[in-house]
Amino acid sequence: MLSPNRVVINESGEAKPPGFGVSRKHRYDMIFIRNDGWMLGAQHIHEEVAFNLWADEWFAFYEMRTHKILPISVYIERQKQP
């Protein structure tokens, strides 16, 4: 299982280390993986904020529910669907 370097915790894009505190807001449902290997986790409610922080630098994402690493193009296509 992957572990992100940071987790987005609010709509402003503030991010904390994944082990920071015990609050639900520091958990994550997905992890975006940047070209340089750096990873950012987000709950579903903050995934758009997380994605937009480095939209041009993500190359993959990891879904916690499926335990799969997928190309970022799959994420982008899913966002276009109603």
Q: Which element (helix H / strand E) includes 8?
A: strand 6-8
Task: Tell me what pLDDT residue 40 has.
Answer: 97
In-domain check, residue 74: yes
In-domain check, residue 51: yes
In-domain check, residue 50: yes
Q: How many domains does the chain have?
A: 1
User: What's the pLDDT band for 18 if we cut at 50, 70, 90?
Assistant: confident
In-domain check, residue 40: yes
In-domain check, residue 34: yes
Asked whether the predicted pLDDT for residue 66 surpasses 80, the reply is yes
Q: Provide the domain limits for residue 36.
A: 6-80
Looking at residues 23-34, what average pLDDT do you find?
A: 82
C-alpha closest to that of 26 among 47, 48, 10: 10
The amino acid occupying position 63 is: E
